[in-house]
Amino acid sequence: MSDSEMKRDVNDLVDICHQAQVDNGWWQGVDVFAPFVIPAKLALIHSEVSEALEGDRKDQMDDKLPHRKMVEVELADAVIRIFDLAGAMGMDLGGAMAEKLVFNDSRADHKPANRAKEGGKNY
Ligand SMILES: [Mg+2]
């Protein structure tokens, strides 16, 4: 996948996730740039990640999609919320992801040899 394909595909998913939330009324009367809206949305993303942690910690199946692991479904919820917020804020999340993956690949502190050194990143 090229960088431009990643940008396009991720931004398509951002549009799909945000439009679904708009259609369901979650943004009715809400200005994303009003005070505390972005922090509240970020807290909701945190809550999905915390649910994923609990699902993984207890090795639970999801209650709404019982054929799937809870950690998988809650990570999906987190991504949906991230994409929704990015859409509401008019972000080019796909472009940022493509650029950040390239940047991360160039980081010396991410290379296994450097991570294995004294003071290197363990995780
Ligand atoms: Mg959830």
Q: Please indicate, yes or no, if residue 14 is contained in any of the structural domains.
A: no
Q: Please indicate, yes or no, if residue 103 is contained in any of the structural domains.
A: no
- Distance from Cα 106 to the centre of ligand 1, integer Å: 34
With a CB cutoff of 8 Å and minimum separation 6, the contacts of 109 are 115, 120, 121
Confidence of residue 1 (pLDDT cuts 50, 70, 90): confident
Domain that holds residue 73: 35-91
CA distance 1 to 87: 22
- Cα 24 to chain centroid distance, Å, stands at 20
- Distance from Cα 69 to the centre of ligand 1, integer Å: 12
- Distance from Cα 91 to the centre of ligand 1, integer Å: 23
Average pLDDT over every residue of 90-100? 97
- Distance from Cα 108 to the centre of ligand 1, integer Å: 36
- Distance from Cα 74 to the centre of ligand 1, integer Å: 5
* Structural domain count of the chain: 1
CA distance 17 to 9: 12
* pLDDT of 105 over the 90 cut: yes
pLDDT number for residue 123 = 87
- Distance from Cα 45 to the centre of ligand 1, integer Å: 9
* pLDDT of 93 over the 90 cut: yes
Tokens of 100: 């950040």
pLDDT number for residue 5 = 94
Average pLDDT over every residue of 43-47? 98
pLDDT tens for residues 50-89?
Answer: 999 999 999 999 999 999 999 999 999 999 999 999 999 9
